[in-house]
């Protein structure tokens, strides 16, 4: 389809506990990106409570949209399309963003573009690195996802590896809670690990036979919990920093090895990182080191684009828009949506 020179798309993201709206120009330039986090609301529970998250989204959605428009200095009528996450995620949370997006698209008579949450995370790299084009490998690692994705084109993806149990970010949260660091676990363990010895405890790394690039972190989580229990039974203290560093190293080793192997297998020279765990300093450093030895470049977004945000949704929606991949107002939330499904 023919497009005018400049395309303005509003993205809306409410898949978990961030309420976000963003205006993105031509898929790559962020004009505004408003994110209202609920971290403080869920901290006392040690994780996201779906019903509380949904209610907060209802409260915040319209103010966040208004702020995104105000910061961008535009009116609703100036938009060319509305992009919205419709899965995967918490069904109640997704429905709030979907309802807002469908209402806006109907009111201004502009196309509605449904966005897969993981495709949004991958697209965050296009915003950060304007020269980036497919094909490349992307490691998507967050509280809900651990995927190695071959990005063949802007709208064609192949999953090469994924977790068989806990996601990497979920494991970080559980271990952080077990050692008393609190929630969210990723940044807290990353910080504590900086003061610890990654070789203090040899926690297990799981690799599968037959060339599989899948992950498993439940055994690692159990090993850490057993280690803590054994120390407790003996009345011995443990060093939180050493536990954090040793656990983090075990996670990073597997993520790095499988991702670099995927890039070699698919014969691509670029690896990108996405999702909340992509902010981990150890992961970034070691991915760069191991990939460089194979002649592979590693790229990743800024921390604000690693967490859930609407700019990445608007970016992904742009590529759907220019191909004319629109949705009607029957678009519904799909909490278990798999990558590649429409």
Domain borders along the chain are 8-124+306-322, 134-301
Q: Give the pLDDT band (50/70/90) at residue 339.
A: confident
Residue 3 has pLDDT above 60, yes or no: no
Residue whose entry in the numeric block shows the structure tokens 């319209």: 62
Residue 262 has pLDDT above 60, yes or no: yes
With contact defined as beta carbons under 8 Å apart, do 271 and 137 qualify? Answer: yes
Cα–Cα dist 93/90, whole Å? 5
Cα–Cα dist 266/269, whole Å? 9
Give bridge partners of residue 84 from the DSSP assignment: 12, 114
Residue range 176-184: average pLDDT? 90
Give bridge partners of residue 115 from the DSSP assignment: 85
Residue 12 has pLDDT above 50, yes or no: yes
With contact defined as beta carbons under 8 Å apart, do 13 and 309 qualify? Answer: yes
Q: What is the pLDDT of residue 4?
A: 55
Token output for 35: 């994110």
Q: What is the pTM of this model?
A: 0.92
Token output for 160: 């090469």
Cis check: omega of the bond before 261, within 30 degrees of 0: no
Cα–Cα dist 119/149, whole Å? 10
Q: What is the pLDDT of residue 147?
A: 95
What is the number of other CB atoms lying within 10 angstroms of the CB of residue 192?
Answer: 21
Residue 1 has pLDDT above 70, yes or no: no
Q: What is the pLDDT of residue 143?
A: 80
What does the CA dihedral 33, 30, 155, 83 come to, rounded to 10 degrees?
50
CA–centroid distance for 127 within its chain: 14
With contact defined as beta carbons under 8 Å apart, do 101 and 294 qualify? Answer: no
- Give φ, ψ of 85 to 5 degrees: -70, 130
Cα–Cα dist 56/130, whole Å? 34
Percent of the chain clearing pLDDT 70 (strictly above): 99
Residue 280, CB-side half-sphere exposure with 13 Å CA sphere:
35
Picking from 28-42, 55-69, 90-104, 292-306, which range would have the lowest pLDDT averaged per residue? 28-42
Residue whose entry in the numeric block shows the structure tokens 């330039």: 29
What does the CA dihedral 87, 208, 306, 296 come to, rounded to 10 degrees?
-130
CATH of segment(s) 8-124+306-322: 3.30.420.40
Q: What is the pLDDT of residue 294?
A: 96
Q: 133-145, pLDDT tens digit by residue?
A: 999 999 999 888 8
Percent of the chain clearing pLDDT 90 (strictly above): 87
3-state SS assignment for residue 128: helix
Cα–Cα dist 9/26, whole Å? 8
Token output for 303: 């921390």
Residue range 233-243: average pLDDT? 93
User: Could you check whether 8-124+306-322 and 134-301 share the same CATH topology?
Assistant: yes
Residue 124 has pLDDT above 60, yes or no: yes
Q: Give the pLDDT band (50/70/90) at residue 50.
A: confident
- Does 249 or 40 have the greater pLDDT score? 249
Class of domain 134-301: alpha beta
3-state SS assignment for residue 209: coil
Task: Give the dihedral sign, CA 286/288/291/295.
Answer: negative
Residue 160 has pLDDT above 70, yes or no: yes
């Amino acid at each position: 389809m023919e497009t005018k020179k400049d395309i303005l798309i509003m993205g809306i993201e409410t898949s978990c506990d961030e309420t976000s709206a963003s205006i993105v120009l031509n898929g790559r330039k962020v004009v505004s990106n408003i994110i209202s986090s609920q971290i403080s609301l869920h901290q006392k529970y040690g994780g996201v409570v779906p019903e509380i998250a949904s209610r907060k989204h209802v409260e915040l959605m319209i103010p966040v949209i208004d702020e995104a428009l105000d910061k961008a200095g535009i009116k609703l009528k100036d938009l060319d399309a509305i992009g919205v996450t419709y899965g995967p995620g918490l069904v109640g949370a997704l429905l709030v963003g979907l309802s807002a997006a469908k209402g806006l698209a109907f009111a201004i008579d502009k196309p509605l573009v449904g966005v897969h949450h993981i495709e949004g995370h991958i697209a965050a790299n296009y915003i950060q690195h304007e020269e980036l084009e497919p094909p490349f490998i992307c490691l998507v690692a967050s509280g809900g996802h651990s995927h190695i994705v071959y990005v063949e084109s802007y709208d064609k993806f192949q999953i090469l590896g994924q977790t068989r149990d806990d996601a990497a970010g979920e494991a970080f949260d559980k271990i952080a809670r077990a050692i008393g660091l609190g929630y969210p676990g990723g940044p807290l363990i990353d910080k504590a690990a900086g003061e610890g010895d990654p070789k203090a405890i040899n926690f297990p790394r799981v690799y599968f036979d037959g060339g599989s690039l899948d992950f498993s972190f439940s055994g690692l989580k159990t090993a850490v919990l057993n280690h803590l229990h054994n120390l407790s039974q003996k009345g011995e203290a443990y060093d939180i920093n050493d536990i954090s560093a040793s656990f983090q190293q075990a996670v990073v080793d597997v993520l790095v090895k499988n991702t670099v192997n995927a890039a070699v297998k698919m014969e691509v020279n670029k690896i990108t990182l996405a999702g909340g765990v992509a902010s981990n300093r150890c992961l970034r450093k070691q991915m760069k080191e191991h990939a460089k030895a194979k002649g592979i470049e590693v790229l990743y977004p800024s921390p604000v684009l690693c967490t859930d945000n609407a700019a990445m949704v608007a970016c992904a929606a742009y590529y759907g828009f220019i191909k004319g991949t629109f949705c009607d107002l029957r678009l519904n939330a799909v909490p278990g949506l798999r990558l590649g499904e429409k």
